[in-house]
Amino acid sequence: DVKVTQSSRYLVKRTGEKVFLECVQDMDHENMFWYRQDPGLGLRLIYFSYDVKMKEKGDIPEGYSVSREKKERFSLILESASTNQTSMYLCASSLRQLLDSPLHFGNGTRLTVT
Amino acid sequence: AQSVSQHNHHVILSEAASLELGCNYSYGGTVNLFWYVQYPGQHLQLLLKYFSGDPLVKGIKGFEAEFIKSKFSFNLRKPSVQWSDTAEYFCAVGHTGGFKTIFGAGTRLFVKA
């Protein structure tokens, strides 16, 4: 079974701090994604990557960056955290999204920025 | 712009009642359709998916969904809900040829025992 592991379940940071959210998947999936989940808004795509060192902006990339140095690891970076980035962050991976592969999600990281 | 609309944000049902959650999407091309479920305290997981063929698809735990292309809809149904179906349900659409999956706002279902 696919396992997507996010390094932290809960995180509290101060405004202006640089924040790293880490995600690792163990099934050799090519595609990895970062979403944020907010009540009433569903999931919104921040960034995704379809290969090592490749990244593409999603729908809400402002204030975020990503890094994918190894196939199994996809990091989300908040360069200077702000209170409006308080949210649940979900990492996901998929084998071949072009055809029939669904997303496999991690448990999420609930980030609070004070 | 592509979008996914879920008709109800909150639904409360008694056990054994029938369930139908509406989902409409706006995209004219070939799409892949999903329903995901998030049980309390758990990660999002796939409930069912449609890519081609029979527009009536069956998923886990007795759920099914029907794709009606002319209505751009993919409604989720279950004939008789259980207390354990209490969860948040998300409709999602991915278009063939792209990497992005777009999610609806979600529907919180509460089933009274």
Q: Note the helical H segments in B1-113.
A: none
Q: What is the predicted pLDDT for the residue at A95?
A: 83
Task: Collapse the DSSP code of A18 into the 3-class scheme (helix H, G, I; strand E, B; otherwise coil) and give the result.
Answer: coil
**B47 Cα to chain A: minimum distance (Å):** 10
Residue among B9, B43, B99 whose CB faces A97 most closely: B99
**CA-wise closest residue to A70 among A29, A109, A10:** A29
CB B73, CB B65: distance < 8 Å: no
Q: What distances in angstroms separate CA A95 from CA A9, A48, A71, B44, one per listed residue? A: 24, 13, 12, 17
Of B60 and B30, the structure prediction assigns the larger pLDDT to B60
Q: What is the pLDDT of residues A29-60, one digit of tens each?
A: 999 999 999 998 999 999 999 899 999 999 99
Q: With CB atoms and an 8 Å threshold, state whether A45 touches B102.
A: yes
Mutation for testing the B interface, residue in A30, A32, A99, A103 having most B CBs under 10 Å: A103
Q: What is the pLDDT of residues B32-49, one digit of tens each?
A: 899 999 999 999 999 999
Q: What is the predicted pLDDT for the residue at B96?
A: 63
Cα A13 versus chain centre, distance? 17
Q: What distances in angstroms separate CA A113 from CA A48, A61, A64, A84, B38, one per listed residue? A: 23, 18, 14, 8, 24
Amino acid at the residue B59:
G
Band the pLDDT of A102: cuts 50, 70, 90: confident
Strand partners for B38: B88
Query: What's the distance, Cα to Cα, between the start and end of chain B in Å?
Result: 41
Q: What distances in angstroms separate CA A56 from CA A49, A60, B63, one per listed residue? A: 6, 11, 34
Following DSSP, what letter does each residue of A46-88 receive, concatenated? EEEESSTT--EE-S--TTEEEEEEETTEEEEEESS--GGG-EE
